[in-house]
Chain A
């Protein structure tokens, strides 16, 4: 199996270049090639594409989806497919944050409260998944539950809080000319990659994702792993919710379903990012670095299409095509490596 081969490469600590050549080559070449093509086309055809301001815009647009996708990457890498409840967790968290802010608690307390809600939601889903529930169905149910809770709590109204609220630095502030949310994205991307690559926990994620039976035999149950990765994903959702709420000083459960981006669905955008980045949905293969690059790639394509004046239809279509293309390339590569053995 190619997956176990990759796990071997991970565990025995082959050099980065070796691994690149052995396992990543076809996909990396594909992704970089595509990126270059998009880049050159953008440079050649779209005005204002090659300006620093536009690059900042691209990365800023990628940031929110990217942070959530990094959280989801942990779940995917550990072999638990993906959570269909990403946007609903964010919806509940944004309501929690805004309600707490509007009733006069400071930023810190609201932040901690929101994180607490996210951890509970993540742990509950993780426990059900870890006990053997199918991740898709569990999180589909959890999605309805969390969204309903959020709507119930806010009575389906917009919750807003007044402007000097102590959270502006996160939403609209900037540092050295970069928006803070971009900096947060970069920091989270780097730290997540470090966690996956250099800590015990990161290696366990890969091990359980690549070969669950081997993980179990060496004493790493999927139960605790599922809880941990679901909590990570939920915390990332909560962070995005807080950042978004701080930006617009208000909250509504539909912020992540109807008014967000072109597709009208944050969850699917996040899953798209994970897939376009070239992570194996079956687990054990991929990295958060790829996810971040996937986010920037989708954002670049989207940006280029906006500059060309496309409507949302073709843009959603483009993202859909990217996902399906990535699935097909991935399946063919995997099949090729299986045939060699």
Chain B
């Protein structure tokens, strides 16, 4: 349950991105930047201020990304692969190319205390985020716009959806989740590396896909994201209990993602074939009497 927090946030963010038909590759760099900032400023400004600054910066980065993606009309992967590098540079800059460390270890202690017997502050925050985003996606116009631009972008734009608004919201939430995830990791371990946290992208994507999003966009939901995160998490925990080296986890995650993709692609091809066969049989049924008449027609 403890590791659920960060993975859940990243999985949630990527679920939203994939629902909108895009993917945010810069999520690991964004989280790393937030971790570096929060660890660096906790000693001088106090944990709460540092946390707010880090999350605000990450969210702002997300908003800017969303704006540019909508304004330039580029695919998100194109822009976010650039910002991946850019944010890594910024994080290196902020960390002065070192591993930054906390000197005051009361904060990590607070983060890992259990509050109501079972939940740490981080898990409560994540559960709260899940509920909030779930309500947002299901019961507000903005949430439905996100589904719309993912499932049928041209139709949504023709129906009057402004591309900028949902795109900015998606990437703002993505930045917010990345920032919160980075802050939690940074404060919990007390250290942060500018080039770390890149594994979050793979783990989050696996969580999102197990949660049932479609790569074509427009499908999936927050409950799915939670289930996917829990699955990946149980896999992780099980492997760790069996003393599996870290790289094997990556191997299993890779296999899992490939299998899910294969399944999705296969079912899509099957659907298409089925539809094609249906059309052909329809046409045949209509043409059948005609053909019969022609064969036995007047001599």
Contacts and interface: CB of A to CB of B under 8 A. Distances in A.
A binds B: yes
Interface of A: 81-82, 128, 131-134, 136-138, 140-149, 151-152, 156, 253, 258, 263-265, 268, 271-272, 275, 281-282, 311-321, 323-324, 326-328, 330-332, 335
29 contacts: A81-B75, A128-B262, A131-B265, A132-B269, A137-B205, A137-B257, A146-B254, A147-B247, A148-B247, A148-B252, A148-B254, A152-B247, A265-B198, A275-B78, A282-B75, A311-B92, A312-B97, A313-B92, A313-B93, A313-B194, A316-B85, A319-B89, A320-B84, A320-B89, A323-B86, A327-B78, A327-B82, A331-B72, A335-B73
Given A81-B77, A82-B81, A141-B206, 20 more contacts: A128-B262, A133-B261, A140-B202, A141-B258, A141-B261, A143-B254, A144-B255, A151-B247, A156-B245, A271-B81, A281-B77, A311-B97, A313-B96, A314-B89, A317-B86, A319-B89, A320-B83, A320-B88, A323-B81, A326-B82
Contact of B92 (A144, A149, A156, A317): A317
A324 B79 contact: yes
9 tightest Cβ-Cβ pairs between the two chains A and B: A148-B251, A144-B254, A317-B89, A320-B86, A141-B257, A145-B254, A313-B92, A151-B247, A323-B82
Contact of B215 (A133, A146, A147, A258): A133
Contacts of B61: none
B235 interface: no
A82 B78 CA distance: 9
A335 B255 CA distance: 40
A132 to B, nearest CB: 5
B74 A327 contact: yes
Nearest to A319: B85
B81 A132 contact: no
B215 A137 contact: yes
Interface string B82-125: 11111111101101110000000000000000000000000000
B154 interface: no
B290 interface: no
B245 to A, nearest CB: 7
A131 B88 contact: no
Contacts of B86: 317, 320-321, 323-324
B72 to A, nearest CB: 4
Contacts of A265: 88, 195, 198
Contacts of B266: 131
Interface string B199-236: 00110011001000001000000000000000000000
A301 to B, nearest CB: 13
A59 B212 CA distance: 47
Given A314-B93, A316-B92, A317-B93, A145 B81 contact: no
Given A141-B254, A145-B254, A148-B254, A313 B97 contact: yes
B250 A331 contact: no
A318 B72 contact: no
A128 B268 CA distance: 13
- B78, B82, B248, B255: which has the most chain A beta carbons within 10 Å? B82
Contacts of A313: 89, 92-93, 95-97, 194
A275 B247 contact: no
Contacts of A144: 202, 250-251, 253-255, 257
A316 B89 contact: yes
A268 B85 contact: yes
Interface in B34-79: 68, 72-75, 77-79
